[in-house]
Structures are given as structure tokens and as C-alpha cells.
Amino acid sequence: MLIACPECAHEVSDRAPACPTCGFPISEHVAEQRAAEQAEQERTSRSPTGSYTDCQPCEGRGFRMIDWTDERGQPGRGFTWCESCRESGRLPVVESPAGFFAVAVEHVDAFVAGELPTSSAYVTALGSEAPPPPTYPAPGLAKPGPSSS
Ligand SMILES: [Zn+2]
Ligand SMILES: [Zn+2]
């Protein structure tokens, strides 16, 4: 395909490494544009799968063990509830052309709306295979899927 060189406007093949007239790096530019298009496509095609998988920050348990040192220098150990999964141990799974993602409960809507990048701290990339279901049952958690109330 012939495109206009963005630098000198001469027609040049989109597969040329560089513009023969001005030396502009055509193939690099084209690759960048394609990557941007793919990112945009990914951003606008996210959809919740309706399923859940283990929350990675807390390993599906709903809480995390934390170590600390008190004022006197004594080490201590305790737990903290996991905010990513709201203590449920499971995260909703969202699918996009880039694969599957586990997303912190609070941020699912923003992620699906394309307002969060896949590199966000609230998003865990799970790869192209559908993730396994949660390891532990979720006591007291609203069941996934349409609610009856
Ligand atoms: Zn040129
Ligand atoms: Zn968690």
C-alpha cells in the first residue's frame, strides 16, 4: 500500500524501512500506528465475562498476612482485609482482544468503560486462556450472575 510520507508528503510504500526522499522511518511509524489502533480496539472491546477467579493480591483468601515492627522494634504479624476483592477472595474477570483480566471490584466499571489502562495497578493480566474458577467458596458474597432481588 502506498501512503503519503508524514514528513515530506511523497508517496512511499508502507513497507519501506525509510522514505527514499527524506529518510523518515516509515516502517517504524506504520508499526506505531498499528499498535495504537490495536490498543484503541482493545480499549473499546472489553466486556465482563460474568465469572470470577482467585484474587491474586490475597491469593483468593480475602485477606493478606502482614508483618510489621512495633515502636520497640518487636516484629509482629497479623492480617489485613483485601481491598481489591472487597474481602471476597475473588475478582471479576473481564475479556478483551488482549486476553483475560482480573479487575479490582471497585474498578471494574471504569476498566470496562476503557478508562483504565491494562497496566493499571487494579488490573491483573491473566493471559489468553480463561482463568480457573475461584479456589475457595465465597461465604456471604452476592452470587455471580443476575440477582433475584
Ligand atoms: Zn519523506
Ligand atoms: Zn483479594
- Residue 14 included in any domain: yes
Task: Provide the number of structural domains found in the chain.
Answer: 2
10 and 68 housed in the same domain? no
The pLDDT assigned to 139 comes to: 62
Cell of 90: 475473588
63 and 7 housed in the same domain? no
pTM: 0.74
More confident residue, 138 or 112: 112
- Residue 141 included in any domain: no
63 and 120 housed in the same domain? yes
CA atoms within 13 A on the CB side of 144: 16
Q: Ligand 1 centre and the CA of 23: distance in Å? A: 6
Could you report the per-residue pLDDT of 7-43, keeping only the tens digit for each?
999 999 999 999 999 999 999 999 999 999 999 999 9
68 and 103 housed in the same domain? yes
Burial letters 92-129, b for 16+ CB under 10 A, else e:
bbbbbebbbbbbbbebbeebbeeebebeeebbbebeee
In terms of residue numbers, what domain contains 32?
Answer: 1-44
CA atoms within 13 A on the CB side of 47: 3
Q: Ligand 1 centre and the CA of 27: distance in Å? A: 12
Instruction: State the distance between the two ends of the chain, measured CA to CA, in whole angstroms.
Output: 57
pLDDT grade, residue 136 (50/70/90)?
confident
72 and 33 housed in the same domain? no
Could you report the per-residue pLDDT of 59-89, keeping only the tens digit for each?
999 999 999 999 999 999 999 999 999 999 9
Q: Ligand 1 centre and the CA of 24: distance in Å? A: 5
Q: What is the mean pLDDT of residues 86-113?
A: 96
For residue 27, which of 61, 60, 59, 3 has the smallest C-alpha distance?
3
Q: Ligand 1 centre and the CA of 9: distance in Å? A: 6
77 and 21 housed in the same domain? no
The pLDDT assigned to 146 comes to: 57
- Residue 31 included in any domain: yes
